[in-house]
Amino acid sequence: MDVLGGLFVDHTLRTVALGSATLGIVSGALGAFAVLRRQALLGDAMSHAALPGVALAFLMTGSRAPLVLMLGAAIAGWLAALAIIGVARTSRIKTDSAMALTLSVFFGAGLVVLTFIQRQPAAGKAGLDKFLFGQAAAMLESDVITMAAVGALGLFALLALWKEFKLLSFDPDFAATLGMPTRRLDILLTGLLVIAIVVGLKTVGVVLMSAMVVAPGAAARQWTNHLGVMVTLAALFGAAAGVLGALLSTTAETSTGPTIVLVATGLVVVSLLFAPARGVVWARIRAWRSRRMLALEAVIADLASLAAQHGSNATHPHDIGALNAVRGRAVVERALSELAADGLARQHDTGGWSLTPRGLAEADRLARSRRAPGVAR
């Protein structure tokens, strides 16, 4: 609780929380499109590829201003995306190989540039190795302002071209037939992914930034089938993961990036399990219920056909040994006890079972609905 209290008093903590929230909102909202467009791994490749951009920007300008480094990262990430798409388009190399190759080569080139930086005397290099894993505690007000400005630019572009991006994500062919410049829109939307990545580089680091692009979108997707809701939720999830992770990491003194990523992963796990309609747990429950219903209906039908063989006395008790043999003892017993509880079947003093008159009527109804497939019951 004193962490939350500290939010209002402690200047550093407030900066960290604000910055992480900004990062979460931007990467969540823009990343939602990456998830929909199957560009999750492109984000990974681009964030690794940002390293040489950051390092070169620093080497050339000698400045650690966030905007300069972000620009370098953005250009490198952008070039990496172009390289991936270009190689996949012009040769028989598939996208996955192109991505793995580009990310490792760019990252390797980044390492080479980093060694040049480390050789410089008195260079302010301390800030740069933090780019690997991020360090929220080092966040300054100027960082937050830059992140917010760059992020706002990205979000504004997203809103301004909302309809176009929506169509491009779900039905690019239709978008093309409507005369939309799909190629240019595609490049632009991929460019927004770059923004989502560079905004978080300082907090989360190049290695794990991809998770912040994917996780909020993947979590949000489970709760809704509506794009607007999904993007909003992704932004909220991103912000929650950012703030919670940053605060946790400052109190527990763990690296910020990994902590934020683990919180975001937690959100994904909860969403995958418990989101209504899509969640794994609900799906299991639904499957279990329908299996039970099918067993009930099967036992009713069996008892009804036994009764039909018996002619005049439909409620004559029957031995259920045959049923047990066919359906399995446990299934039959559970079904029978449920049917008895509903008053559809009863056990006679002899131990045999029969349907009650209501059960017979139910069996009749079920048989009829089965004979007319497609009729909703």
Q: What string marks each residue from 309 to 348 as x (binds another protein by CB under 8 A) or -? A: ----------------------------------------
Query: Which residue's entry shows tokens 């996955």?
Result: 96
Give CA–CA dist 196/179, Å, rounded.
28
Using DSSP, how many helices (H) and how many strands (E) does the chain show? Answer: 17, 2
| Inter-CA distances, 168 with 123, 189, 360, Å | 45, 9, 56
**Residue 274 binds another protein (CB under 8 A):** no
By CB under 8 A, name the one of 15, 20, 39, 182 that touches another protein. 39
Closest CB to another protein among residues 217, 242: 217
In one-letter notation, the amino acid at residue 280 is V
| Inter-CA distances, 174 with 221, 232, 247, Å | 23, 25, 45
Segment (H or E) for 354: strand 353-355
Which span sits near another protein by CB under 8 A: 85-93, 153-161, 290-298, 299-307? 85-93
Q: What is the phi/psi pair of residue 354, to 5°?
A: -150, 165
> Based on C-alpha coordinates, what's the Rg of the chain?
30
**Residue 257 binds another protein (CB under 8 A):** yes
Give CA–CA dist 318/347, Å, rounded.
9
Binding to another protein in span 120-149, by CB under 8 A: 129, 132-133
Closest CB to another protein among residues 111, 361: 111
Closest CB to another protein among residues 57, 219: 219
**Residue 90 binds another protein (CB under 8 A):** yes
**Residue 361 binds another protein (CB under 8 A):** no
- Least gap, CB of 195 to another protein (angstroms): 18
3-state secondary structure of 346: strand
Q: What is the phi/psi pair of residue 347, to 5°?
A: -95, 135
Cβ count near 35 (within 10 Å): 22
**Residue 108 binds another protein (CB under 8 A):** yes
What burial class does residue 287 get, using C-beta atoms within 10 Å of its C-beta: 0-12 exposed, 13-18 middle, 19+ buried? exposed
**Residue 258 binds another protein (CB under 8 A):** yes
**Residue 259 binds another protein (CB under 8 A):** yes
Binding to another protein in span 190-249, by CB under 8 A: 207-208, 210-211, 213-215, 217-218, 221-222
Which span sits near another protein by CB under 8 A: 113-121, 147-155, 297-305, 342-350? 113-121
| Inter-CA distances, 14 with 30, 132, 141, 322, Å | 24, 23, 10, 72
| Token representation of residue 164 | 């176009």
**Residue 281 binds another protein (CB under 8 A):** no
**Residue 111 binds another protein (CB under 8 A):** yes
**Residue 280 binds another protein (CB under 8 A):** yes
**Residue 104 binds another protein (CB under 8 A):** yes
Chain positions contacting another protein, by CB under 8 A: 35, 38-41, 43-44, 48, 87, 90-94, 96-101, 103-112, 114-116, 119, 129, 132-133, 207-208, 210-211, 213-215, 217-218, 221-222, 254-255, 257-259, 261-262, 265, 268, 272, 278, 280
